[in-house]
Amino acid sequence: MLKEHNNKVISRIAIRNIKSDKMQSFFSFVTFMVAITLIMAFILTILGVQKETEKDAKMQHQAVFDHIDQNTINIIEQDSQIKKVIILGTLPKVKYNDRFIIQTTYFSNFFYKKLEGKIPHSINEIMVTKESLKYLPEGTSLGKQLSLNLGNGISKYKITAIATLDVEPPNTISIYCTKELLDDFNNGEYKDYSVYLFLKNSQNMEYSQIKDNIYRIAAENNIPDKNIMFSSKYKNLSEKYSSKEIVQMAMVMAVILFAAYLVVYSIFYISVNKKIVEYGQLRAIGMVKKQIYRMVALEGLFIAIPGMIAGVICGAIIGYIIRPRGWYYLNFIIAAITALIFGLITLKISIYSPAKAASLISPIEAIGFNRTSTENIKRHKKSIKYTAFRFAELNLKRNKKKSILTILSLTFCGIIFICCASLQSSISAESMVTTTDFQYGDYKVCFEGNWDIYKELDSEAQNYGKGALQSVNNALTMDLKKKILSINGVKEIKEWFGTTSIFRFENKDISDQTTIWGYSRQDEKKLEIAKVDGTVSYSELIKNNGIIVNTSENLFKDVYGYEPKVGDKVSISFWQSNGTVLTKDFTVMGITGSADGFQHMIRMPVEILQKSADYNLALDWEIITETKYNEEIETNILELLSKYPELTFEKKADYVKNYNNLYGALFFTLYVLVMVLAGFGIISLINLTLTNHTLRKKETSILLSIGMTRRQLQKTRIIENEILVLISLVVATIIGSPISYFVVNSFKGTGAVRQYHFPLGVYLIFYGVIIMIQFILSLYLNRRSSHSLIYDLKRA
């Protein structure tokens, strides 16, 4: 029997080949390591998020009952389905130093990142947050007494604790007090608690079961539906990844693996090309095709396996750094196995063609193979002037496949680089804030209402919240507007109108209180972008008494269990200044589906809105200034607002800072991805340059010996390499730009992107770096090549 397979000698030759070509081996190792690192980190992040979500879901309440007194709380706590309740009570917001808001809260169970001191226990003890300290008088610290007006006049409070929270609203002093203080502020008994419900065994319940339990408890305690708020966060946490999200994740992994495949294929293709004569020799002395194939495949495997193991370790470290809370040993195992499987598949695919090509080399071809073959070069009848450019062009043409592979590899990396860099430069905390909260200006003045006035309203008026307060006194007047506009540096004020109303969907048993916002003709274009159905035409809606409902992030469906449609009939009740309610009928004429500045639930043309209530409906003013963040303008505005306790002042810069804290990890991840893809492209190009240099030593020596100067040779080589880079630059730009535009725009619906930005600076740096590396490498290699001509001639 023929014993033609000898793994030992094949493995030995494969290992020796790896050791002899250290540069190629290193590049392949790095490529696999980086690809697997990315995939590991990616999978661990996804699984980590899922794990964190599970942990968060366990800690998340399922629903909140509002406006509950202590007696009812005591009964609810005894319910057999209730695991625990957390009670929240708040005092009305109070202005502090004309600029800040004091929010005083009682929480039966505090959640904090870090705590110094002890939770307050007595009526005059409070806890403040670390962020709030900067708004309080200097020297405010743990154990100190602080004079504050929490709504009942100025009193002294002892700071018994300072808590660090994950996220805090800007310009807000968060105070945590005792239950006794709440009762004290409310004639001995606070009756307006919010009760957070945690059901037993919720993780094993369907969401519909959870809802049924909540409704049952509410019914048994005479709690109306309007006082029940289901936690959309819990619902989101309990949901698995949707098929759309899984497809998106798979696409990201596919992109990474394809980039790795291109680079590895290119490296091995060039390597096989380099060793054609050697493979022919081995075939001549008796190595069969299968042995040659196996040898090349083993070369790939012996490099890839350590690379992949290194990638698993690096990826695990990065995954842990990104999501330490989500770390779980099973996730690591799943991620490692998945990454290794994908890595091996990529290896198999990328090695297959080069290994097959190597095995098919016939000995006679290889023995007669001339590395400087001029096959397929057309013969020219006319004489041609051989400039450096002409030489470069000829060199590129004689091995088209190698040149095309390198261009493909660079171009692909370039395209993905443009997409990631575009996303990275189009998403920013500033973009997000500009999209959602500060569309026009850097400052906002908002009508919040006066608690003292609210307290005095009857219960029906209180149902209309800000609407009722606006009817009594709205400080956002023409007079104030003129005063603000007269401040030096203030250009314009964009007014937003709205009021709290009660809406009812006909025949759907959906009724709730919400702030209805108006929009102007100016806003129509933006709404058009956010529109998913119907029309947002200002004129059309006025003609037909239409409204626009926003369904972004499935909020409407989550809260009310219903997906609004064009044509739905809705009645909206507006508070009137004479104490009556005006109910009007509307038709849903448009549906928007993004958070693109219009995340509020219901909008209507401001003309219709203003006809629905007989008082000043101004709610927010965005102040547009000539320069960004001018301290003088701020001071002047604050001075003006000091007389109006119902108005608050907000700065865009504070929101940007908050978003940066929230999304820092995402921005960092995008940067890293962009850098890694750039690295893949550079590896591919360096490998080609070094290989070409090695393959053409003899040719180089011949050219130098017959009189080509080093400078001329350098020029030829540099031009040859830069042609490859420039072609890939052009192709990547032409193809990558529209793709990146599409990718960035697909994120618009999330509110994360306001406008597409082509990453010109980063892109030019990327290609600039590649061109420079090529240039320097070519210079260095060409300097080295001329020192011993005869040696190179003989040995090459």
Q: How far is the CB of 272 from other proteins (least distance, A)?
A: 15
Based on the shown chain and the rule CB under 8 A, indicate whether residue 787 belongs to the binding site for other proteins.
Answer: no
Give the C-alpha separation, 162 to 61, whole Å: 25
* Contact with other proteins (CB under 8 A) among 92, 117, 151, 363: 363
283 makes contact with other proteins (CB under 8 A): yes
- Which residue's CB is nearer to other proteins, number 367 or number 675? 367
DSSP strand pairing (531-534 vs 618-625)? unpaired
> Should residue 290 be labelled a site residue for other proteins when binding is judged by CB under 8 A?
yes
If one asks whether residue 289 binds other proteins (CB under 8 A), the answer comes out as: yes
> Given candidates 66, 116, 192, 278, which one binds other proteins under the rule CB under 8 A?
278
How many residues can be counted in the chain? 796
Facing residues of 753 across strands? 427
Our CB check for other proteins shows the closer of 4 and 626 to be 4
Report which DSSP code applies to 487: S
Considering only residues 182-221, where is the footprint of other proteins by CB under 8 A? none
Q: What percent of the chain is helix, strand and coil (3-state, nearest 5)?
A: 55, 20, 25
Question: 278 vs 393, which CB is nearer to other proteins?
Answer: 278
Taking the C-alpha atoms of residue 700 and residue 690, their distance in angstroms, rounded to an integer, is 14
- Selected range binding other proteins among 17-25, 211-219, 260-268, 656-664, rule: CB under 8 A: 17-25
Residue 58, interface with other proteins (CB under 8 A)? no
Least separation in angstroms between residue 364's CB and other proteins is 5
Q: Rounded to an integer, what distance in angstroms lies between the CA atom of residue 185 and that of residue 140? A: 24
The pairing of strands 581-592 and 546-550 is parallel
Nearer to other proteins, 117 or 363 (CB): 363
> For other proteins, which is the closer residue by CB, 366 or 445?
366
Nearer to other proteins among residue 139 and residue 286 (C-beta): 286
b/e per residue 219-239 (b: at least 16 CB within 10 A)? eebebeeeebebbeebbebbe
Q: Is 276 in the site for other proteins (CB under 8 A)?
A: no
Q: Which stretch binds other proteins (CB under 8 A): 12-20, 244-252, 309-317, 759-767?
A: 12-20
Burial state string for 263-284 with b = 16 or more CB within 10 A and e = fewer than 16: bbbbbbbbbbbbbbbbbbebbe
Is the CB of 287 or the CB of 724 nearer to other proteins? 287
Contacts of residue 173, defined as CB under 8 A and 6 or more positions apart, other chains included, come to 96, 100, 101, 102, 103, 128, 132, 135, 136
Q: Any contact of residue 3 with other proteins (CB under 8 A)?
A: yes
Single residue of 128, 163, 282, 484 touching other proteins by CB under 8 A: 282
Helix (H, G, I), strand (E, B) or coil at 163: strand
* b (16+ CB within 10 A) / e for 738-750: eebbebbeeebbe
Least distance to other proteins from the beta carbon of 28, Å? 17
- Residue 284 interacts with other proteins (CB under 8 A): yes or no: yes
- By the rule CB under 8 A, 16 interacts with other proteins: yes
What DSSP assignment string belongs to 520-552?
Answer: -GGGHHHHHHHEEEE---HHHHHHTTEEEEE-G
23 is a contact residue toward other proteins (CB under 8 A): no
d(CA 495, CA 359) in angstroms, rounded, equals 75
Shortest reach from residue 6's CB to other proteins, in Å: 4
Residues 318-357: x where in contact with other proteins by CB under 8 A, - otherwise, as a string = ----------------------------------------
Asked whether position 22 contacts other proteins by CB under 8 A, the answer is no
> What type of residue is 153?
G
Lookup: tokens for 314: 């690096």
Angle between helices 400-426 and 243-274 (to 10 degrees): 150
Looking at the Cβ atoms of 521 and 795, the one nearer to other proteins is: 795
Selected range binding other proteins among 114-122, 284-292, 379-387, 523-531, rule: CB under 8 A: 284-292
Euclidean distance between CA atoms 618 and 605, whole angstroms: 14
* Cβ 5 to other proteins shortest distance, Å: 7
**Would you count residue 281 as binding other proteins (CB under 8 A)?**
yes
Alpha carbon distance 445, 438 (integer Å): 11
Q: Name the one range near other proteins by CB under 8 A: 26-34, 244-252, 362-370, 541-549.
A: 362-370
Q: Is 554 left (phi over 0), alpha (psi -120 to 50) or beta?
A: left
Nearer to other proteins by Cβ, of 5 and 325: the residue is: 5
285 near other proteins, rule: CB under 8 A:
yes
Q: How far is CA 358 from the centre of its chain?
A: 45
Residue among 3 and 240 whose Cβ is closer to other proteins: 3
36-58 burial code (b ≥16 CB/10 A, e <16): bbbbbbbbbbbbbbbbbbeeebe
As measured in angstroms, the least distance from the Cβ of 20 to other proteins is: 5
If one asks whether residue 5 binds other proteins (CB under 8 A), the answer comes out as yes
Of the two residues 21 and 442, which places its CB atom closer to other proteins in the complex?
A: 21
CB 569 within 8 A of CB 608: no
Amino acid at 196: Y
* Residue 12 within binding range of other proteins, rule CB under 8 A: yes
The residue with tokens 């054609």 is: 276
Does position 367 bind other proteins by CB under 8 A?
A: yes
Which range touches other proteins (CB under 8 A), out of 363-371, 408-416, 467-475, 710-718? 363-371
Nearest distance from C-beta of residue 298 to other proteins, angstroms: 13
**Closest separation in Å from C-beta 15 to other proteins:** 9
Burial zone of 256 (CB within 10 Å; 0-12 exposed, 13-18 middle, 19+ buried): buried
* Number of residues counted as binding other proteins (CB under 8 A): 29
CB of 790 to other proteins, least distance (A): 14
Separation of alpha carbons 110 and 164, rounded Å: 11
φ/ψ bin of 96: left (φ > 0), alpha (ψ from -120 to 50), beta (otherwise): beta
| Minimum distance from residue 781 beta carbon to other proteins (Å) | 21
Could you say whether residue 286 binds other proteins (CB under 8 A)? yes
Q: Is residue 379 close enough to count as binding other proteins by CB under 8 A?
A: no
Q: How far is the CB of 10 from other proteins (least distance, A)?
A: 8
Which of 9, 250, 377, 665 is close enough to bind other proteins by CB under 8 A? 9
Between CA 522 and CA 529, with CA 528 as vertex, the angle to 5 degrees is 110
Give the residue with the Cβ less far from other proteins, 19 or 385.
19
The span of 15-23, 263-271, 341-349, 745-753 binding other proteins (CB under 8 A) equals 15-23
Least distance between other proteins and beta carbon 728 (Å):
33
Task: Give the DSSP H or E segment for 173.
Answer: strand 172-176
Per CB under 8 A, residues contacting other proteins are 2-6, 8-9, 12-13, 16-17, 19-20, 278, 281-291, 362-364, 367
